[in-house]
A and B are shown apart, each in its own frame.
Chain A
Amino acid sequence: MGSYSSSTEKKLARMRLRGLIKKEIHQILRDPSSIGIAFFLPVVLLLIFGYGVSLDAEHVPIGIVIEQPGPETNAFVAGFMESEYFNPVFFQSVQQAESALLQRKIMGIVWTRSDFTRRLLGGAEAPIGVIVDGVDANQARIVQGYITGVWMKWIASYAKAKGKLLSVPVNIKHRIWFNSAVRSRNFLVPGLIAVIMTLIGGMLTSMVIAREWERGTMEALLVTPVRIREIILGKVIPYFFLGMGGMALSVFISIVIFHVPFRGSYLALGLASALFMLTAIALGLIISTAAGSQFVAGQIAIVITFLPAFMLSGFVFDINSMPLPIQIITYIVAARYFVSILQSLFLAGNIWPIYIVNCCYLAIMAALFFMIIKKKSHKRLI
């Protein structure tokens, strides 16, 4: 200090930073595992999740028991046969159907008794029994909805044919915006990008820093005139670009392979991704200060980045419906903001107020994380 003029000092600082970045690039290029984590992992995860995770029930096997067939029940059953949601299986008696349900061969039973036609024609309210397998409550509810749909359609056409006034005073006409085909992949895939990027940012950075401690290279770095901020930047910059590469690849896969519509601006996406990448990398840096070894760093990264990003980001599970304490926790999950941005940009377009608010949160988190890093890191061994 004082021994150099500020311009020479600046020149030296630039040289040091460049050296560190160059080194990191060499290491990335030589070590296939970094590239693997950045590019191979997203592809594999996207494929697994993209194909494996779907909430859209189709061809649900459903047991149908018609105790006494007739033209009316035939019309009703036809509704199930035509629907792409169902895969009807016929049973002679309800006992048989019930045992199939117990064996989980069918998801539900629709059952008309032998007196169904008589009661229907007699004008009495003819009951249709519906049993659904409630083990998977979400699916059960969706199946119930589908059955109700078939029933409503049938009853409307039945009433029309009979010239009867339908007792359905309020008729719901719904429109589902942004995803009218109701493809769950359309929202799951963008959400996944956030999860994957958290994992990459957190795991990659925390592990490469832990590696330096483990191999003793950090001690050797620390005793050079390098400044701590240069060491940090020397890590952040290369992995930032690596992560952005993985990000671009993920977006490409989502659009090209999974046909997720993209309705917003790519520039906005790039900007938000950059902010998010920074928070993810910052989190990785924080993990690495806590973990002494790559092994521990990897484990912490999985537990504190992957799980929350998956469960608490609102990407599958609705945040509003969580208990309040857990809702509060979601505020410190950066993925939450990024999921919101991604789902909007992909499906809804540039919704600036949402975009800006969430970007602000991300920026605040990034700033906060880097402040913690600045406070926590120093050129000391302990």
Chain B
Amino acid sequence: MLRRILALTIKEFIGILKNRKSRMVLILPPIAQIIVFGYAATFDLKDVPVAIYNEDQGEISRQIIARFKGSRVFRIIGGLQSDDQISPVISLKKALLVLHFHEEFSKDILKGGHGDLQVILDGRNSNTALIALNYVHTIVADFNRSWAKKNGVGSSPARLITRSWFNRMLDSHWFIIPGIVALLTIVVTLEVTALSVAKEREAGTFDQLLVTPMTPFEILIGKSLPGLIIGLVEGTFIIIATCYWFEIPLRGSLLVLYSGLFTFLLSAIGIGLMISSISLTQQQGLMGAFMFLVPSVVLSGFATPIANMPKFVQDLTLLNPMRYILVIVRSVFLQGAGFDLLWTQYIPMAIIGIVSLAIAGFLFKRRLY
């Protein structure tokens, strides 16, 4: 039996690797994705275009502007001369934000102790706007502190001392890139397993396989192994790239990481085989995989937190194996978490895996003929 399974697995591998097209499917998307996600997918801003409308003649506005000039986040695109210019500069996306120092700005501060700095932001992408606003706050708070110190004005009674754990610089790459490990393994594993039966059905080879003495169980195992192995190999590739190319620290143990990956792959294979056993053509398999992948990526916490979703959607995500592996991968990488902290993630994933494999086995047997 083992030998027959092995023969089928070897055959599957040759089939996958010999065909130029399916080889491409395994090689190109990982590279494209890691480049695109690794470089393009970032919430960290830089070179945000800023326009300055400075009606103030005083010193203070100049000092603040100098701080903006010194920041890598902002890029000053020029000054405005009148109120009327604010609207077009924002609307036309020339600047994401306008800093408006009114006439009495410096005077107010020198006289009354504080003045208002007006910030107008383009909210068409409100997330970017919020992040930019946070940067503005940071720059101004820094200025406030040093100004207060210099002028001996009563210092603030309390002060926030902020630290970020796990990701000191709050670099959003550290969040996205380890996530790709999960994303890519599921994409590739689904590609390999979801289409494997449909491909044979279309080519007519499935009948040929069924008339051999192989049992459905053997066929099922033989079809799962390539997905598992390829998933692990590609996962390893991304893990290596994450550590050595993107230089993201791997703080936890590989054992914890790989047990997570393995459990995750079982559930991915189960789902892939479920799709496979119900689709008659490769196209249906592809559509099925796509229709599964999109929601499971969106509702996994890959790019946006699950906590922000409506309650019923949050409950829905409990069925999503990707939700759990993302926690595991990120915790192992950034937090160095071990089994003690993560066991709550393994269990649901293992349950999903077992259930989906069982259903796949059932469907497979039923739809076999």
Contacts and interface: CB of A to CB of B under 8 A. Distances in A.
A182 B130 CA distance: 8
A303 B127 CA distance: 26
B42 A317 contact: yes
A204 to B, nearest CB: 12
A233 interface: no
A289 interface: no
B130 A142 contact: yes
Interface in A12-66: 33, 44-45, 48-49, 51-61
B84 to A, nearest CB: 15
A58 B309 CA distance: 9
Given A51-B313, A182-B129, A303 B28 contact: yes
Contacts of B114: 166, 168-171
Interface residues of B, number: 104
A320 interface: yes
A168 B161 CA distance: 17
Contact of A320 (B28, B47, B327): B47
Contact of B327 (A104, A107, A128, A155): A104
A81 interface: no
B299 A135 contact: no
Contact of B335 (A135, A138, A159, A298): A135
Most buried by A among B305, B327, B331: B305
Contacts of A162: 157
A57 B305 contact: yes
Given A52-B299, A57-B305, A176-B123, A170 B117 contact: yes
B66 interface: no
Interface string B36-73: 11011111111111000000000010001000000000
A320 B93 CA distance: 11
Contact of A174 (B43, B120, B156): B120
Contacts of A59: 307
Nearest to A111: B161
A268 interface: no
B156 A321 contact: no
Contact of B164 (A140, A298, A317, A348): A140
B14 interface: no
A302 interface: yes
B124 A318 contact: no
A210 B266 CA distance: 34
B157 A159 contact: yes
B157 A322 contact: no
Interface of A: 33, 44-45, 48-49, 51-61, 101-104, 107, 116, 120, 123, 125-142, 144-145, 147-148, 151, 155, 158-159, 162, 164-180, 182-184, 186-187, 207, 294-296, 298-299, 302-303, 307-308, 311-312, 314, 316-318, 320-323, 326, 340, 343-344, 347-348, 351, 353-354
Given A54-B304, A135-B330, A321-B44, 7 more contacts: A138-B172, A169-B113, A170-B140, A182-B123, A182-B130, A311-B41, A318-B128
